[in-house]
Structure 1
Amino acid sequence: MISTHCLHQAICLGAFTIAMNGALAGTLVADDDFTKSFGTEGNGDHVIGPDYSIAPELTDLGNPKGKQFEFLMPLADSKIFRGDDATLDPSKKVREQRKVFVYVPDAYEDGTEAPILVTLDGPSRLELVRNALDNLTISNAPERRLPAMIVIAVENGGSDSKGSQRGLEYDTMSDRFARFINDEVLPAVLNDPQIKATYPHLAFTENPWGRGVMGCSSGGAAALTMGWFRPDLFRRLITYSGTFVDQQDDDAAEEAKYPLGAWEYHSSLKLIENSEKKPLRIFTHVSEFDNGAQRPESSYHNWVMANERTAAALKAKGYDYRFVYSKASRHCDGKVFEATLADTLVWMWRGYHDED
């Protein structure tokens, strides 16, 4: 069912390629000036484990460090997620303000329109992403080089699952969270006084192929949902232990169109199979014992099933996708991130050049 594949080897991921062939035909975005050819190296289904070790590129190798910033965004100031939604369960705590962490790698040149990687449940795995950028933005191997992207790690709004602010943001089947990141978080980063003082000409690319999202669990579902509903804004999507099950709030307005929440991507409505193919590049992952999957009598076994079905749907539709099944591991397992994240980032950003 799932083939084995080597990790931590440049040859497994291939060289950067790009094809300049005019506007993207048959997509939802009409203003692209080119199509991109990513190649197929590293695509498909892969199994790893049960033994794990951290990739050297995710450790401190002594390379020049970038700069990290942190600021707060009060929920009451938001026009999109104020923390007072009618669907919220009053027993589940909502944050008064969320932290936003920003990392600018040393390789970034002020004034350059930088690609961005938004990570959810910030700071999440920011320490690993920082090391990856410190090491791989200056890699001597072109096939392992990452662009000098800005990382924006956004804290969730609080609590978890149905009736929570986090669940509202991450598990709802709409473009609401994508709009929140694009319309509120990104401008807040550009206007933060500390960041402006250090990088007065900081700029983000508007090219959606230069905008990625990474999340785990419901954050993984949110990453796919951001790209699915707004491929004009975000196209490179990384999901670990994705919650492609029904965690959308029962009172959500979106229940009318998507009654089973993210389960609809692969089952019931089968959105991936039955929708026009979107301009997205997608990484998905699930652990062998994801969210209690070692208990067959538990409904949590759906996590593994949901991710396998999602990967199968992406394959059937012809997406550029990479699916990793990790043995002897659990939900959002740190050892899986340590073993795979360097390869995941390199695969995800293949085909992107700083001049795009």
Structure 2
Amino acid sequence: MLCGINPAVAQIPTRDPHTPGYVKATELPDGANPSPDSNGNFIIGPTHHDAPESVVQADIPQGKIYHFTMNSKDSKIYPGIAREPNTFGSPDPANPAKLIVTTSHPAPYNRQVAVYVPEQYVPGTAAPFIIGADGPDNLLFVVLDNLIAKGKVPPMIAISIGNGSGDAQGSQRGLEYDTMSGLYAEFVEKEVLPLVESKYQVKLTKNPDGRATMGGSSGGSCALVMAWYHPELYHRVLTYSGTYINQQWPYNPESPQGAWGFHGHLIPESPLKPLRIWMEVGDQDLFNPNIMRDGMHDWVLANENMAKALSVKGYPYQFVFARNARHVDGNVRKQTLPEALEWLWKDYHLEH
């Protein structure tokens, strides 16, 4: 999703990964991915071919995929909001970083949840798992089938959670994904995971080292928000075109820059957290695509700043700058997701 784009002002330039001020990165041969054994900054493309693990392989064990629906009336945490169609908001004349939205109101929603259980899961054992935003994500399930069969990642359960509808400020999706707090992680912990365990007779690990989050765009920043505010729940984060910009709503003076604050001050000024982070951004990713002019709406710069902040602080991370790639680019995902997941779980040891 394109995070509140106004097409009339969406002029998206192609960025050069060697722009002054960007992180120094290793340029890989066209079509190559960084090694899952390596940390740091890498440049890929311009050609993007599907990794073998992104394609269904009929001769390996296939996990089971289950679906269920959650209704807003059953949620104590997210009863539901929506922004009126074809409306956005206006910047506060006194503060360009604050968007005033007058067309958001209570509204019901349904969300779809898909659960992948690998064939190798042993009933009764506590399984590692990954939470995905904007689900269902069928590519994730295919990749996990292939990686698990090859022993490149542990047998894990994947829980791909649909958003509550809409996009950006004033929407249910925006409220869930762009809010700088632990609330969404708490919603998953209290309202989603118990349903998964009871419906499908699986046991999910309580060990944060065996729990990962992932997503693209605002779902990507949400993945980091979940782990940042609840590191006792999640240690692993994977993001495509993360919305590390100022998109939080309602405005909160405690986090006035929204997710831009991650690289602006939170990561630099906070003690090191036990997080392992994989990130990607495209050379044609989003650039100031709405009516706010606060200097905090460049997705490429935001992700470059993230890589810089993570490096300085000493986090284990891998950052991929993709040439010839747009926002949450599907071809890039099919090229890189297997390597990204292998990198993300590289240091994990199965529980016994």
> Shorter chain as normaliser: what TM range?
0.7 to 0.9
Q: CA deviation at 1:354?
A: 2.5
Q: CA deviation at 1:12?
A: 2.6
Residue aligning to 2:268: 273
Cα RMSD (Å): 2.7
Per-residue CA deviations over 1:113-147 (Å, capped at 9, x if unaligned) read 10010000011xx22222222112121xx5xx111
Q: Is 2:219 the partner of 1:219?
A: yes
Residue aligning to 2:240: 240
Q: CA deviation at 1:293?
A: 7.6
Correspondence for 1:291 among 286, 290, 293? 286
2:63 and 2:115 map into 1 onto residues whose CA distance is: 10
Within-5 A mapping of 1:273-352: 273-292=268-287, 302-352=298-348
Cα 1:115–1:88, aligned 2, differ >3 Å: closer, same or farther? Answer: farther
Q: CA deviation at 1:191?
A: 1.9
Q: CA deviation at 1:353?
A: 2.6
Residue aligning to 1:100: 113
1:350 and 1:89 map into 2 onto residues whose CA distance is: 46
1:209 and 1:134 map into 2 onto residues whose CA distance is: 21
1:313 and 1:106 map into 2 onto residues whose CA distance is: 39
Cα 1:230–1:88, aligned 2, differ >3 Å: closer, same or farther? Answer: farther
**Structure 1 contact 216–239 (Cα < 8 Å) conserved:** yes
1:73 and 1:310 map into 2 onto residues whose CA distance is: 34
Cα 1:91–1:355, aligned 2, differ >3 Å: closer, same or farther? Answer: closer
* Unmatched runs of 5 consecutive residues or more in structure 2: 1-23, 84-99
- Give the TM-score normalised by the residue count of structure 1: 0.81
Per-residue CA deviations over 1:56-94 (Å, capped at 9, x if unaligned) read 011112112111111111112111111159998645795
Q: CA deviation at 1:95?
A: 5.0
* Unmatched runs of 5 consecutive residues or more in structure 1: 14-40
2:41 and 2:34 map into 1 onto residues whose CA distance is: 17
2:301 and 2:33 map into 1 onto residues whose CA distance is: 31
Residue aligning to 1:261: 258
**How many residue pairs get matched?**
310
Q: CA deviation at 1:96?
A: 2.0
Query: Residue type matched to 2:314 in 1?
Result: G
Per-residue CA deviations over 1:283-327 (Å, capped at 9, x if unaligned) read 111110002589xxx979611000000110000000001100000
Cα 1:7–1:115, aligned 2, differ >3 Å: closer, same or farther? Answer: farther
**Structure 1 contact 94–157 (Cα < 8 Å) conserved:** no
**Structure 2 contact 115–157 (Cα < 8 Å) conserved:** yes
1:53 and 1:84 map into 2 onto residues whose CA distance is: 39
1:237 and 1:8 map into 2 onto residues whose CA distance is: 24
Cα 1:127–1:317, aligned 2, differ >3 Å: closer, same or farther? Answer: same
Correspondence for 1:151 among 155, 158, 163? 158
Residue aligning to 1:12: 35
**Higher mean Cα deviation, 344-353 or 285-294?**
285-294
